[in-house]
A and B are shown apart, each in its own frame.
Chain A
């Protein structure tokens, strides 16, 4: 597909999108080649776009598309001049089938579960780059066209087309066009699938206020892929963990931006706008992940953190000590300075800014955080809480200098000014009182 889709074509594409997984999995089974099957289903789509506007949508569009796709597959095999015995057998089977009236019900009978799983694992093969995996998954599993994927990722259509062609070539050259991951390697291979689904979701999530509706749609496609995976591999705890994380994060979509499209931070969001329907599904998925013994895994822990926010009726009711505990657990799996910084924020929010500050200061030499404005910003916040206003002012100024977003810069400069005002207002005496009162509170809390 190189042309833009006009309104007249949208109805055809809609039917095709629904039927596409079945088309591609059936063809893959016949041709023993997933990328080739994908090419031929695209050709069936083009045939429908050409025919249906004049003939009308057939009564059984799925059967029509299936027959068209099978014809394309047959033509293809004929063109290859039937070099292999395998192909001869397939062709004779298919020719016998061609004579019969295509039957939608028999197609519905096919359990495409294993084929679908094969499709997803092929598209998300670890040998492919993340970008290539995302493009293939969106095309082969979600039925997005190349131009739609390009618009969603804000890159030229030719870039996506090239990415898809190259990925398919890599699969062909590596002999991976029709590979079945063994059950025992499923969990291992699953991580490369989960990674890509989360990448697709996040690409849409960070662009929830984008100009083009296709960018936020990536969120929905990520969620849908997550649900597909859970249905196909219901015993994999991390599939449920990732789905839980995506549902819980997506539940906040309506509250994440203001009228002007500017982002609203989690703690400032109007929680009435959070989607309770979606939160419930997220909690169910998290429950599944835990029931399958996956509570301590990468996505499930992050989902548990999102669940703490989702369950707090007000920002003030957030269980920060619990969140800090989850971040500590997460640090055990992925020792990342960003996770450590988040843990410090949670500990600070839980009422122990001194312990939090010790963690943040321990991260001062982390190369990954050298230019990251949130480290001095968090530090300034903690210093402010401890009444060390002059140091807080310096930290906020450092953060403002590092921030690239103008809106954030403004916010950080305001906080620096606030800290400066606090230095001027309060003398040395009141600072001591502030520290003492915090210490008292801590003593009460820890001493019981």
Chain B
């Protein structure tokens, strides 16, 4: 089963060096275990743009985006035997946030890929 983890948070600061080191170690372990296929962190939303379609009109919008609450900060793609493993993985990653960045709050969303096919 291929899943995408989408990290969302209202937290705006940069991750701590301790967190970065621990997350890197975990990522390396998961690559070596053949489970993690890809991952990446995203620059702040304020530095991005939105192309919006509303009421039949297309518009390009520059940041900052006042209405943004939880912002996507990163993603990872894994291949795992099932949803239980996916939850266990996400739990371990969120536990890492708890230890390395006290006060940080956010959501790790687990989404399975839609598989093509008959």
Contacts and interface: CB of A to CB of B under 8 A. Distances in A.
Interface of A: 10-11, 13-15, 17-18, 21-22, 57, 59-62, 105, 108-109, 112-113, 116, 217, 220, 223-228, 231-232, 253-255, 257-259, 272-273, 275, 281
A225 B87 contact: no
Interface of B: 22, 25-26, 29, 31-35, 37, 79, 81-82, 84-85, 87-89, 91-92, 95, 115-118
Contacts of B37: 281
B32 A228 contact: yes
Nearest to A232: B32
B117 A255 contact: yes
A231 B115 CA distance: 27
Contacts of A15: 88
Contacts of A225: 34
Contact of A275 (B84, B88, B95, B116): B116
A10 B25 CA distance: 26
Contact of B88 (A11, A109, A224): A11
A291 B29 CA distance: 25
B116 A14 contact: no
Given A224-B34, A224-B35, A254 B92 contact: no
Majority-rule SS of B interface residues: helix
Contact of B79 (A18, A61, A220): A220
A27 B105 CA distance: 36
B25 A108 contact: yes
Contacts of A60: 95
B33 A228 contact: yes
Majority-rule SS of A interface residues: helix
A223 B79 contact: yes
A60 B22 CA distance: 14
A28 B50 CA distance: 53
Contact of A14 (B22, B34, B79, B87): B87
Contacts of B87: 11, 14
A254 B81 contact: no
A61 B92 CA distance: 9
A59 B95 contact: yes
A226 B32 CA distance: 10
A258 B118 contact: yes
Given A18-B92, A220-B81, A259-B118, A108 B34 contact: no
B57 to A, nearest CB: 32
A17 B34 CA distance: 13
Contacts of B35: 18, 224
A109 B108 CA distance: 24
Contacts of A258: 118
Contacts of B117: 253-255, 273
Given A108-B26, A217-B81, A231 B34 contact: yes
Contact of A105 (B22, B34, B79, B82): B22
19 contacts: A10-B84, A11-B87, A11-B88, A14-B82, A14-B84, A18-B33, A18-B35, A21-B33, A60-B95, A108-B22, A116-B32, A223-B79, A224-B33, A224-B35, A228-B34, A254-B118, A257-B118, A273-B117, A275-B116
Residue from the set A61, A62, A227, A254 with the largest chain B CB neighbour count within 10 Å: A227
